[in-house]
Amino acid sequence: MVLNRTKIVIVVSLCIIGTIAVYFAGKKQSTGYPVTLSSNRSTLRETPISFEPQAWALPDPTPNDAHDYKDRLAKLEAERVALASRYQQAASSSQQADVLAQARTFVTRTMYAEIFPAWYGTPWDFYGTTEVPQQGKIACGYFVSTVLRDVGWRVQRARLAQQASENIILSLTAEPHVKRFRRVAISDFVTAVKKWGPGIYVVGLDIHTGFIVNTGGEVYFIHSSYVEPYTVVREKASESKILTASNYRVLGKITADDLLMEKWLLRKQIVTRSA
């Protein structure tokens, strides 16, 4: 009888321990962090997503006056020339890397805080080709190629604008900086962008293109919109009707590509991919 009671106590104790273990395992997996497979062992670990806004994204930009747009571009070009000179005079690869890092931060901040806001409110049109913010109308592809040109990349503005969106991206950057999403929920897509990290991306959709900006705190879709309000807009990616409706999304993280940043510094020609 004593032996049977001892067995019962042991069994009950094991059941309690098992229940507690399952409870805490469930709590661990419900932290809100995506679970990924470790690269060097077959165990699962948590990968938290950083939501720290980047310095270049603060304060949050608002639409600005486009009347001084030419002056902004002139100042941008002067800074590019200065950085290019330092890059060419660098005595080591580490010094060049430092200049590239500075160029990346400068381009990212300038696009997000100065160039994009000048275009907000510019009307969309399928055949729009204006080169000046707030004057005329602009199509989605021309918005992308014009901004890239104005920032300082030597792109073939018209030819690039007329390509399929994936060709636009592959004209700018290579596969290591490209990701594709097919029939992925918008929430999962935004989470993937947050995990990929802060920076500026070009995004291609089923029938549309634009920019994605991950500020570290929020993910925005900046584009010339063919739905209301039919203008260049900045909207939260998670709330964009166009972004949500697209079955296919391809992303190129242009600010992560050192070769593309070097092309910006040295004004190297970017050849348009058409096939």
Q: Are 201 and 243 in contact (CB under 8 A)?
A: no
Q: In whole angstroms, what is the distance from residue 26 CA to residue 6 CA?
A: 31
Residue that the structure tokens 């001084």 belong to: 68
Predicted confidence (pLDDT) per residue in 156-202, tens digit: 999 999 999 999 999 999 999 999 999 999 999 999 999 999 999 99
- Residues of the chain below pLDDT 70: 1-50
pLDDT one-digit tens code per residue, 174-187? 999 999 999 999 99
Q: For 138, which DSSP code?
A: B
Give the model's pLDDT for residue 17. 42
Describe the chain by its helix, strand, coil percentages, rounded to 5.
Answer: 50, 15, 30
DSSP single-letter state for residue 234: E
Domain ranges of the chain: 2-46, 55-266
Model pLDDT, residue 137 = 98
What pTM did the predictor assign? Answer: 0.82
Partners of 74 in the β-ladder = none
Give, for 232, the enclosing helix (H) or strand (E).
strand 232-236
Q: How many CB atoms lie within 10 A of CB 240?
A: 23
